[in-house]
Structure 1
Amino acid sequence: MTNKKFAAFIVTYNRPDILMDTIEKCLNQTMPPEKLLIVDNNDNEDTKNKLAQLYPNAAHIMVGHNSGFAGGGKIGLETLAKEGYEWILWADDNDPPYTEDTFEKLLKMAESYGATCGQVGVVGHKLNRRTGLLIRTANEELQNCEYLEVDTIGGGMIKIIRGASVLKGIVPEPKLFFGFEDLDFDLSQKRAGYKIVVHSGLFLDLRKKWNRMSVKHTRIRKKDESVLWRDYYSIRNSLFVMAKNRYYTAFFSILFVSIGKSLLNYKHGFRYGSLVTRNTCRAIRDYGLSRWYVRYLPGKPTPKTKKK
């Protein structure tokens, strides 16, 4: 092992108590990170002050604005890769490891793959390049192998990334802000020839823990209105990712399916259907006009449209 083997950074935004719990679980791992960096998107100093009190050895970067998981990811990866760390955990403030030996198992798996491995994690899937949808990894696939190669590891699924790939310019796209920035990053790694691998045992254990061993695709369901803002980013950013990778069939599939879902949601009432349709139309419009500076956030129904 080198002197700079493994570091971690956590992107946070106005959740200091949740962050402290995640930090504790990261540091209590059987193989904890040699350096912990907090990328602070907060609009106040609550997190900075709490870190100084509880974890004074944690490095801290105050971004100065909410850069999202994408912008914070770019800052954290570039900072630690330039410092020479071979492996880097990219985490959100509510993404603690699932077991005490999660990091140890993933890093051992990464080493077994050698220089071709660009990323390891717990949960991952392959991408259907015709529809733009993820193909759910079958239980049988996980049961028949120790490690499984996938196309993407979602945010929150313990993404540990090879620092050398970051030094080659493979970084998150900051303008995506939130949603599918992980898929965009992972497809960039794949294009560069890196393998993305998940640990089958950890994956299966997590499915059992969440009682998801027999989950099947479900019908369109009504979401709570407080989370509808996420759909804006999902639609806008997925269109960007499909076009960037020249998955044009998937691009139009996502476009038409999003419009169709908007219409179907009127079955939950005119007001609800209108909210979903407005989000969809805004997402398509802002993608087409490259309005990446627009922000739709919970509790803030009026978008921020001022360019930075």
Structure 2
Amino acid sequence: MTDHRVAVGIINYGDYRHLPACLDSVKRQTLPPDRIILLDNQSRTDEIGPIARAYPEVQILGMQDNLGYSGGANRIIREANGGEDIVLLNPDVVLDQRHLEELILAMQSNPGAGAVGGKLLLGDSQVDGRLCGDAPRILDTTGHLIFRSRRVIDRAHGEPDVGQHDAPEEIFSVCGAAVLYSRSMLEDIRIDGECFDEDFFAYKEDVDICWRAQLLGWTALYHPAATAHHLRGWKRGDNRRRVSRLRKYHSFKNYFLLMIKNELPVLLRRDVLPILRLGMCAMAYVTLAEPALWRSVLDLRRYWPRARRKRGIIMARRRVSADRIGRWFV
């Protein structure tokens, strides 16, 4: 393996309980990162202090405000100013020992790759390994699927891991819970100094960055040899009323921002019926079940001018055909 500089960035918001397991797994890597940066949103001194003392090698950025995933990721990318590629992690992810080495090998073997993600499994690795016996492990994500309606899901989420996703392949986008981004790609797609769009704040920002990268000619890879466990707090199929209002607000808003910024007219015309069908179902659900979410639609007026301007920049720099993008919408 050639010399490859990589920084690991962890974006935390109140999840101090899982941080030690996450940090320990980073320290155990067969290919250690050059830097470990922990960004702590709305940092609590009494909680982050013990972490800082236990892990003196970790650079901690304590934020007074909550920058969200997007703002936190941008701050980490700026902080890692030595040209390193960037691995971003959620604090509830535990990496298997070869995770970083496998991601870097995949990126080195595919020079056009802008993002690489591995096989994420649900739950804690130590608990799963001790209690499950011969039962198959449960998949969390093997990359994102995007439908013609532009609905996005984690591929294979909740399925038993029985080898159905054991082959490396190109995918549309990588889940931001554990992902390696090429520094060259990040610099190429930057708009107004932002790699991640901070209007997204959180949720679907990982889809947005990969969609933009695809438009500019970069690829995203799924590399199953890089495995990790994700203690995801909310799972598909859970009661939606358990999901925080903040998450639902940003998820709903960001569904529209994704299309405003990245949609190609020819593909919009092709898929207008499934897009309208999902939109009408979503509006009916909001009206009948959660009318407070209408705020996310009304607030689009505030985000619209910036999203349109960013769209103009993206489309002016687009390097690929509509057919190449359209193949991902299933």
Mark yes or no: TM-score above 0.5.
yes
The answer to whether the aligner puts 1:125 opposite 2:139 as a matched pair is no
The answer to whether the aligner puts 1:277 opposite 2:291 as a matched pair is yes
Q: Which residue number in structure 2 is paired with residue 305 of structure 1?
A: none
In the alignment, is the contact (CA less than 8 A) between 2:144 and 2:152 conserved in 1? Answer: no
SS of the residue 1:17 aligns to: coil
From the superposition, tell whether residues 45 and 179 of structure 1 become closer, same or farther in structure 2 (CA, over 3 Å): same
From the superposition, tell whether residues 79 and 135 of structure 1 become closer, same or farther in structure 2 (CA, over 3 Å): closer
Give the stretch that moved more between structures: 163-172 or 221-230.
Answer: 221-230
In the alignment, is the contact (CA less than 8 A) between 2:28 and 2:97 conserved in 1? Answer: yes
**What TM-score results when the alignment is normalised by the length of structure 1?**
0.75
Q: Which residue number in structure 1 is paired with residue 109 of structure 2?
A: 112
From the superposition, tell whether residues 254 and 45 of structure 1 become closer, same or farther in structure 2 (CA, over 3 Å): farther
Return 5+ residue gaps in structure 2 as ranges. Answer: 119-141, 306-330
Per-residue CA distance 1:153-203 (angstroms, 9 max, x = gap): 1122x2011111122243111121111111111111111211100124557
Root-mean-square deviation (Å): 3.3
Q: Which residue number in structure 2 is paired with residue 84 of structure 1?
A: 83
Q: Which residue number in structure 2 is paired with residue 258 of structure 1?
A: 282
Give the stretch that moved more between structures: 168-177 or 41-50.
Answer: 41-50
Shift of 1:68: 0.5
Shift of 1:50: 2.1
- Higher RCO, 1 vs 2 (CA within 8 Å, ≥6 residues apart): 2
Count of residues paired in the alignment: 267
The answer to whether the aligner puts 1:238 opposite 2:251 as a matched pair is no
Alignment partners' CA distance in 2, 1:129 and 1:58 = 42
- Partner amino acid, structure 2, of 1:93: P
From the superposition, tell whether residues 254 and 177 of structure 1 become closer, same or farther in structure 2 (CA, over 3 Å): farther
Q: Which residue number in structure 2 is paired with residue 44 of structure 1?
A: 44
Q: Percent identity?
A: 19
**What TM-score results when the alignment is normalised by the length of structure 2?**
0.70
Alignment partners' CA distance in 2, 1:291 and 1:66 = 23
In the alignment, is the contact (CA less than 8 A) between 1:12 and 1:42 conserved in 2? Answer: no
- Partner amino acid, structure 2, of 1:121: G
From the superposition, tell whether residues 67 and 252 of structure 1 become closer, same or farther in structure 2 (CA, over 3 Å): farther
Return 5+ residue gaps in structure 1 as ranges. Answer: 211-216, 267-272, 293-308
Q: Which residue number in structure 2 is paired with residue 297 of structure 1?
A: none
In the alignment, is the contact (CA less than 8 A) between 2:11 and 2:69 conserved in 1? Answer: yes
- Partner amino acid, structure 1, of 2:171: V
Alignment partners' CA distance in 2, 1:79 and 1:164 = 16
Q: Which of residues 165, 168, 178 in structure 1 aligns to 2:188? A: 168
Per-residue CA distance 1:1-58 (angstroms, 9 max, x = gap): 5655221010112222322221111111222312101112124323542233101111
SS of the residue 2:248 aligns to: helix
Aligned ranges 1:145-294 → 2 under 5 Å: 146-156=167-177, 158-170=178-190, 171-200=195-224, 222-225=239-242, 227-246=244-263, 248=268, 249=272, 252-262=276-286, 273=289, 276-279=290-293, 281-290=294-303
